[in-house]
Structure 1
């Protein structure tokens, strides 16, 4: 007689949603998007190119702008009931500077990272 394995806990299944955070840093702007991988659609995005945000920022490309974009993206994700995301980083990217500021801004809003 073969005993089947126990089902995984429900709290882990709740966070295994296929949302991926992708970031782009150009010389002028900071952009972050969250993709829903199975459907290949953008679930949420934030950028320093948005007209409403440009007036509130002193610079659209530095570390403080990246932190602000991260906070705005985190609030938008929570309003869409997305509690967790995974991070897509390019091979040459290091957890430093603008990248760190953006991720910390998202984390301050209460999102979980997988």
Structure 2
């Protein structure tokens, strides 16, 4: 699967500025044509701390904005259970609109601060 050149350029620019630490890990978002995935990453250690996806929620069809919001809520629930309350948001080169924004709003509703 190839990333478009423009999205890759935007993604690299974002990653120059954003990095996750143990105190404030990074929330990374990935969208495919049918699913949406999010994970909380400690970049200093190189470990994924928590992850959630629309596949885990049992979404059979294409991901909608409502499903993306539920993924955000599930991610926040799992993060607070692991003692994570504050994060930085990495939109991964995607426009902050639609499903990406819904995921972020769901995470905020679930108790994450960013």
The TM-score by the shorter chain falls in which range?
0.7 to 0.9
CA distance in 2, matches of 1:68, 1:59: 15
The answer to whether structure 1 residue 79 and structure 2 residue 85 are counterparts is: no
Question: Whose radius of gyration is greater, 1 or 2?
Answer: 1
CA distance in 2, matches of 1:90, 1:30: 12
Farther-moved stretch of structure 1 (80-89 vs 59-68): 59-68
Output the TM-score relative to the length of structure 2. 0.75
Checking the alignment, whether the CA contact within 8 Å between 1:32 and 1:73 is kept in structure 2 is yes
Query: Structure 1, residues 18-76: CA drift from partner, whole Å, max 9, x if none?
Result: 400000110111100010111000000001122xx21xx46451111100100000000
Output the TM-score relative to the length of structure 1. 0.75
Gaps of 5+ in 2: 1-21
CA-based RMSD of the aligned residues comes to 1.6
Number of aligned residue pairs? 93
User: Which structure shows the higher strand fraction?
Assistant: 1
Aligned to 1:102: 103
Aligned to 1:43: 49
Query: Structure 1, residues 70-97: CA drift from partner, whole Å, max 9, x if none?
Result: 0000000000010100011234x22210
Gaps of 5+ in 1: 1-15
> SS of 1:112's equivalent?
coil
1:96–1:105: structure 2 CA closer, same or farther, 3 Å change rule?
same
> SS of 2:102's equivalent?
helix
